[in-house]
């Protein structure tokens, strides 16, 4: 099977792929990582000289969202500075809740980014992270709340409870 046939596989979600012309150009040119334009999702923003942040509306559970980010060559978003968070906050300004990459799946209350580095800069909403505050379920995945100015909350990575754990998501690469 040729490359084109794979890209046209109906099993591939077209929403995570750039348009065909850009895709073909990218394959032909194989630009270095730093030269890639920000693309994908429904909106994207780039830090000056830095990472691309790409918003997908989902909603998807964390594990499936991460797969889409990996398909872009990245991960769920890493946000290590206030300047980066301000850019992501603008990206999600109309999105109530979107997954970032931070999580404490391995060790409760020890949040790490997808590359395993500890979360140092934080922008938690007051009282968060609370791991559901005794609600009988774990909250191990970081979200950013666009309608609240880009503060963070810890939420379930997937249901249950019903109605949680499936959100929009931001990738970075």
Positions touching Ca ion (CB under 5 A) are 104, 128, 130-131, 139-140, 153-154
**In whole angstroms, how close is the CB of 109 to Ca ion at the nearest point?**
6
Using left for φ > 0, alpha for ψ between -120 and 50, and beta otherwise, residue 168 falls in beta
Cβ-based nearer residue to Ca ion, 40 or 114: 114
In DSSP notation, 40-66 reads SSSEEEE-TTS-EEEEEEEEEEHHHHH
**In whole angstroms, how close is the CB of 98 to Ca ion at the nearest point?**
15
Cβ-based nearer residue to Ca ion, 164 or 172: 164
**In whole angstroms, how close is the CB of 128 to Ca ion at the nearest point?**
5
Cβ-based nearer residue to Ca ion, 68 or 140: 140
The residues with which 84 forms a beta bridge, in sequence order, are: none
Q: How many contiguous H segments (helices) and E segments (strands) does the chain have? A: 4, 7
* Separation of alpha carbons 129 and 150, rounded Å: 14
Cβ-based nearer residue to Ca ion, 66 or 128: 128
Whether 70 contacts 173, CB under 8 Å? no
**In whole angstroms, how close is the CB of 151 to Ca ion at the nearest point?**
11
């Amino acid at each position: 099977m040729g490359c084109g046939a794979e890209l046209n596989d109906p099993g591939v979600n077209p929403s995570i792929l750039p348009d065909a012309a850009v895709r073909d150009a990218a394959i032909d040119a194989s630009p270095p990582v730093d030269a890639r334009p920000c693309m994908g999702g429904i909106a994207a923003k780039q830090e000056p000289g830095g990472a691309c942040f790409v918003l997908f509306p989902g909603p998807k559970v964390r594990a499936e969202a991460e797969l889409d980010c990996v398909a872009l060559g990245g991960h769920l978003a890493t946000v290590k500075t206030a300047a980066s968070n301000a850019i992501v906050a603008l990206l999600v300004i109309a999105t109530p809740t979107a997954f970032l990459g931070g999580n404490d799946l391995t060790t409760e209350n020890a949040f790490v980014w997808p590359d395993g580095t500890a979360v140092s800069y934080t922008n938690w909403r007051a009282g968060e992270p609370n791991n559901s505050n005794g609600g009988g379920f774990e909250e191990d995945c970081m979200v950013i709340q666009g309608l609240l100015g880009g503060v963070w909350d810890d939420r379930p990575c997937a249901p249950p409870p019903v109605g949680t754990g499936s959100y929009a998501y931001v990738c970075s690469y």
